[in-house]
């Protein structure tokens, strides 16, 4: 891929992720209730005090303060706040939010979910381009409640990167709904989806998050993963990801979102592809 394409990718994906968040989840919409004054004060005070502590403990200089200031400004200019927050902060929020869940483990949503993907039957295929690159994968399973009762009315929303590690809607030149779909489970709560195995995802190196990674000497990689949202009437929705056993960066995900329960180990089908079965257990609505 050319440098120009990569640069276009970082700029376009940052702007699209910010736009997506503002459309779906921002506090300006009525979907998010306002937080109590006392709680805002507690959280903001502790955050600001933690910053003061770090400054004193590490004798932070004016040069470092100004570097931070210009970096924070550039994160906004690049549209990379959704990327920054979902990579370095969301996993802790998810951990707290799902502490008492009885059903399947979930993990972070990340910045690239788009609601309303094309609907597929319980046995179907994610939309792909002609000759979509990547190892074919048959992904199937069953959605149940915590007592094992099948959930026929469940919806499985899937989104994933392609064989270049790029997401439709956030990287240029990919058809709108490529590798995104909404699958309805059958009368036994079962589904079977044909797709391809995604490649590992690299945080754009030419934006602010990439500059932080370079400056700190970290790496920019997430392991290859499938994103899923599983929902059913009268049940808590599950947001999760699945990773591939032995895959690169499964042990050192930059976003700290891998859990042992989320690592799948597909087996060869015999005709060049792989298959795997994975079941989802949803908690009753809380």
**Residues of span 214-243 touching ligand MBD by CB under 6 A:** 222
* Tokens (6 digits) for 246: 């032995």
Q: Per CB under 6 A, does 108 bind ligand MBD?
A: yes
In total, the chain counts a number of residues equal to 286
Of the candidate residues 151, 183, 230, 255, the single one contacting ligand MBD (CB under 6 A): 255
User: Which CB, 79 or 110, lies closer to Fe ion?
Assistant: 110
Token couple for 92: 């802790």
Q: Which stretch binds ligand MBD (CB under 6 A): 43-51, 97-105, 106-114, 270-278?
A: 106-114
Residue closer to ligand MBD (CB basis): 81 or 112? 112
Binding part of the chain for ligand MBD, among 54-62, 67-75, 107-115, 187-195 by CB under 6 A, reads 107-115
Q: How many residues bind ligand MBD (CB under 6 A)?
A: 11
Q: Compute the distance between CA of residue 59 and CA of residue 26 in angstroms, rounded to an integer.
A: 36
Smallest Cα–Cα separation from 108: which of 217, 16, 209, 243? 243
Distance CA(272)–CA(6), nearest Å, equals: 30
| Position 201 contacts ligand MBD (CB under 6 A) | yes
Residue 159 near which of Fe ion, ligand MBD, none (CB within 5-8 Å, type-dependent): none
User: Which residue stretch of 38-46, 105-113, 175-183, 278-286 sits at the interface with ligand MBD (rule: CB under 6 A)?
Assistant: 105-113
E strand intervals along the chain: 119-120, 123-125, 136-145, 155-160, 180-184, 190-196, 201-202, 221-222, 225-231, 238-244, 263-264, 267-268, 274-277, 280-282
Q: How far is the CB of 255 from ligand MBD (least distance, A)?
A: 4
Work out how close the CB of 140 gets to ligand MBD at its nearest, in angstroms, rounded to a whole number. Answer: 22
**Residue 168: Cβ-neighbour burial (10 angstroms; 0-12, 13-18, 19+):** buried
Helices (DSSP H) in the chain: which residue ranges? 3-24, 37-57, 62-77, 81-88, 90-97, 208-216
> Is residue 223 close enough to count as binding Fe ion by CB under 5 A?
no
Minimum distance from residue 165 beta carbon to ligand MBD (Å): 8
Q: Which is nearer to ligand MBD, 87 or 155 (CB)?
A: 87
d(CA 168, CA 151): 30
- Among 106, 110, 124, 210, indicate the residue that binds Fe ion (CB under 5 A): 110
Q: Which is nearer to ligand MBD, 83 or 137 (CB)?
A: 83
170 binds, among ligand MBD, Fe ion, none (CB under 5 to 8 A by kind): none
In the complex, minimum distance from the CB of residue 103 to Fe ion, in angstroms, rounded to a whole number: 22
SS3 call for 135:
coil
Residue 81 binding result from ligand MBD, Fe ion, none, given CB thresholds of 5 to 8 Å by partner type: none
Backbone angles phi, psi at 129, to 5 degrees: -80, 165
d(CA 98, CA 160): 23
Q: Which of 186, 182, 191, 180 is nearest to 153 (CA)?
A: 186
Residues that bind ligand MBD (CB under 6 A): 83, 86-87, 108, 110-112, 201, 222, 255, 257
Residues that bind Fe ion (CB under 5 A): 110
């Amino acid at each position: 891929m050319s440098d120009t394409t990569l640069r276009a990718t970082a700029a376009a994906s940052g702007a699209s992720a910010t736009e997506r968040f503002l459309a779906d989840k921002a506090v300006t919409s009525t979907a998010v209730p306002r937080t109590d004054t006392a709680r805002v004060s507690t959280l903001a005070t502790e955050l600001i005090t933690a910053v003061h502590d770090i400054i004193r403990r590490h004798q932070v200089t004016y040069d470092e303060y100004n570097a931070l200031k210009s970096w924070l400004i550039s994160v906004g200019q690049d549209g990379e706040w959704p990327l920054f927050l979902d990579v370095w902060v969301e996993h802790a929020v998810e951990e707290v939010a799902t502490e008492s869940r009885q059903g399947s483990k979930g993990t972070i949503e990340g910045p690239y979910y788009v609601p309303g993907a094309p609907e597929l039957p319980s046995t179907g295929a994610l939309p792909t381009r002609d000759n979509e690159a990547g190892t074919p994968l048959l992904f199937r399973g069953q959605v149940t409640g915590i007592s094992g009762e099948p959930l026929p009315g469940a919806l499985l929303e899937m989104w994933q990167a392609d064989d270049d590690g790029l997401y439709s809607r956030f990287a240029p030149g990919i058809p709108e709904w490529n590798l995104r779909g909404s699958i309805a489970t059958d009368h036994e709560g079962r589904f079977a989806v044909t797709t391809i195995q995604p490649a590992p995802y690299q945080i754009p190196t030419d934006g602010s998050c990439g500059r932080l990674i370079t400056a700190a000497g970290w790496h920019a990689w997430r392991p290859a993963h499938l994103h899923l949202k599983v929902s059913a009437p009268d049940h808590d929705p599950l947001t999760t990801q699945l990773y591939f056993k032995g895959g690169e960066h499964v042990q050192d995900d930059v976003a700290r979102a891998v859990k042992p329960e989320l690592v799948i180990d597909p087996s060869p089908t015999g005709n060049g592809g792989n298959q795997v079965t994975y079941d989802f257990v949803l908690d009753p609505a809380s």
